[in-house]
Structure 1
């Protein structure tokens, strides 16, 4: 690989790591934010919701926009947006402005995520598989070290540091990207020849609007009911609006020629649909634990942010160790066994949360973290292989988009569940109830994995 290719890969890697880094650092900052702003747990949870909702919308849209404006322009614009969002967030006069900064930050980092892999595939022709695997390390490594980095920053500085830490990454990535990413071909700059109406139709602006309204309204209404303990006219109307928008969204997507989320694919390809459902459940389980454990350690057990970050390293380290081993296993035995074992490990980890006591040594949470980490490492490879196996070749682009949508829906549902379970205050009883529900979901995932694994073997005549 040439020196220029290595520098280009570094530029892209430093850019794309910002999305998983910022989505994971916040896990250890939730308790601190709740104290600083004097808010209920459900309200502070919008720091998580807003980032994932914006990412779920921005990444597929920015992928389409890169066809109009060019990948280099989208990548550089994402860096600029991320820089100013991270710079201004610490000066937010109130919580609403901080949420707005998180949304803008999510859009900026999603712009880089949407085109980062494509830049490497297009401009690095030698040892391309190695380059893509290195970028995967940037992504998984950032997610793994995020809670630890957040804990260190909160220990030695304060919550503004989790935004300011982005600035050197952005600055270095921008300088390298400006020099190393080749200019976009003239054909990519044909956005000016398209009317605003055709551009909005291409990205399915109406579908995006309905999707956003349905998610925000439903989350607002359900969390308000959980926090207040009763159904008021205001939160009841929010739920009704959310359901109406969701129904309109489904109807629109089924009729649209260029849908934001191609729902018709679920009906046409049931095997691919099953993989997406399983992937959504996996992310629902993983992120419920990912955001639940730090709050439990800090609010219930009064563990410091730094110690919480150190304990959370168990999750990331286990996942990173399991991923390469899973690759060899999946190549030899197919994705189903790895997916089944992953579900079993997540069920064990969830059950362990239920048997924890308030007096249990905090190191005991490492068992649940390790079980989930290994399970996540198995799934990272197994689910991707299952997707490719179940998706027709001509649908692989659409399938990848649906796959990422399933990931974000799982994360959003996990935050919703945690907020509903805890209400205004994170409690030990609520944490145990969360573990019990996660164990039930993991059990359902085990049954799904084993059932379809056996069915696959019967179809092949192996029994």
Structure 2
């Protein structure tokens, strides 16, 4: 579903007009998808380890098909959010399992294999904003969901023929009751995590929208903090935790990879979602031309991915991640220089820098995860890894909402660029400080 996510970035301004929402309200089309994905990724990783990766992957395609069919028929924005959540669950089944399949069935030159996967993902990102801009320009926003249907159907037929059949599940998996399944996925932990995340988001966004800190906002924020503390305590005691915090302590290299990946996605998605809205709302660029400009992001990522695979197979992930951090610093700093008189085409420099860095990160971070995670927990590790991706995406949208406010403006976008520059410099510093015996476990 990278295609749909990239098209949504161009559709945000249109949805804001259709449903008469401010940016904070319409941003829940992003929040809902990634909150649900952050929850579903570890669950589906567990499910694939237990019940079979092929079954979970194919089921995910069916779920995504149904959501893409029903979302355009939504009678209200609330129903659109519901179908986006369903879509995210289907996507989570595919993403976590796809990484696990690469880890298990490809034992040599994994970075090269990951680069091939990244090419397809980057290809979707490359054409997504353009296709979204064309569809919205000539039809309307529902078309960005309908266009998923042929891709999902073709993917199902291809996966059915190519993914190896699952081994017979263990007897306890076949006989697992509904209650045992709830214990296995840690339903209590999921509930606490969801309450904490949603309450903290609502509290922060409401405070920003109101322009002051009200008692209601403080109470909602406190509920989120209490739920977060209860979640941590519960996870440390649970026999089958939703997010295995003790595993992070046992494998510090894996912890480091996930933290860094979260920061990478804060940077990337702040640009990915923020720049199209800036172009349309501040510079009054049409959806069609915004999509054309966004092509430079995907095409640069597409070109960088195969080169990254060969480089990382030879030298390990650390050099590629260091260069990536430098490129994101360049792109973020360039955003700060933009003003009302800057040529619109000049934004392509920032997009190109982030595109190349994205190609390096797509391969480098996953290669770092494989180096740091034992093979026997790769399903859970892949789920946690993608949870880090979605947490970064959620935080990027939250950052945009807080910095920009309810309506995009040039000054707020410049402040966003300054913040992104600081984060990018932090990533460069962290990569430079890493040693051969450090957390990426390079040999």
TM-score by length of structure 2 reads: 0.90
* Residues 22-171 of structure 1: pairs in structure 2 closer than 5 A: 22-67=4-49, 69-116=51-98, 134-171=116-153
Task: Find the counterpart in structure 2 of residue 353 from structure 1.
Answer: 335
Distance 1:75 1:327 in 2: 25
State the 1:80 CA deviation.
Answer: 3.0
Distance 1:325 1:184 in 2: 33
Distance 1:48 1:20 in 2: 13
Distance 2:135 2:170 in 1: 41
- Please, which moves more after superposition, 163-172 or 200-209? 163-172
Task: Find the counterpart in structure 2 of residue 418 from structure 1.
Answer: 400
* Residues 437-448 of structure 1: pairs in structure 2 closer than 5 A: 437-448=419-430
Task: Find the counterpart in structure 1 of residue 3 from structure 2.
Answer: 21
Distance 1:127 1:328 in 2: 9
Matched, 1:431 2:413: yes
The secondary structure found in structure 2 opposite 1:29 is helix
Distance 2:372 2:98 in 1: 25
Distance 2:166 2:323 in 1: 45
The secondary structure found in structure 2 opposite 1:231 is coil
| Structure 1 pair 366–130 and aligned structure 2 pair: CA distance change class (3 A) | closer
Task: Find the counterpart in structure 2 of residue 223 from structure 1.
Answer: 205
State the 1:327 CA deviation.
Answer: 2.6
State the 1:126 CA deviation.
Answer: 13
The secondary structure found in structure 2 opposite 1:187 is coil
| Structure 1 pair 110–403 and aligned structure 2 pair: CA distance change class (3 A) | closer
Select which of 228, 246, 249 maps to 1:246: 228
| Structure 1 pair 185–272 and aligned structure 2 pair: CA distance change class (3 A) | closer
State the 1:130 CA deviation.
Answer: 8.2
Task: Find the counterpart in structure 2 of residue 203 from structure 1.
Answer: 185
State the 1:267 CA deviation.
Answer: 2.4
Select which of 433, 439, 442 maps to 1:451: 433
Matched, 1:290 2:272: yes
- 8 Å CA contact 2:118–2:305 kept in 1: the answer is no
Distance 2:8 2:329 in 1: 25
| Structure 1 pair 146–260 and aligned structure 2 pair: CA distance change class (3 A) | same
Task: Find the counterpart in structure 2 of residue 336 from structure 1.
Answer: 318
The secondary structure found in structure 1 opposite 2:342 is coil
The secondary structure found in structure 1 opposite 2:169 is helix
TM-score by length of structure 1 reads: 0.86
Root-mean-square deviation (CA, aligned residues, Å) is 2.9
Distance 1:52 1:254 in 2: 24
- 8 Å CA contact 2:11–2:136 kept in 1: the answer is yes
| Structure 1 pair 453–197 and aligned structure 2 pair: CA distance change class (3 A) | same
State the 1:311 CA deviation.
Answer: 0.8
| Structure 1 pair 368–227 and aligned structure 2 pair: CA distance change class (3 A) | same
Distance 1:396 1:193 in 2: 24
State the 1:202 CA deviation.
Answer: 1.0
Task: Find the counterpart in structure 1 of residue 260 from structure 2.
Answer: 278
State the 1:113 CA deviation.
Answer: 2.6
Distance 1:454 1:120 in 2: 25
- 8 Å CA contact 1:70–1:189 kept in 2: the answer is no
- 8 Å CA contact 1:42–1:422 kept in 2: the answer is no
- 8 Å CA contact 2:45–2:383 kept in 1: the answer is no
| Structure 1 pair 393–113 and aligned structure 2 pair: CA distance change class (3 A) | closer
Task: Find the counterpart in structure 1 of residue 242 from structure 2.
Answer: 260
* Residues 357-376 of structure 1: pairs in structure 2 closer than 5 A: 357-376=339-358
- Deviations along 1:184-214, one digit per CA (max 9) or x if unpaired, are 5553796551122211111111111111111
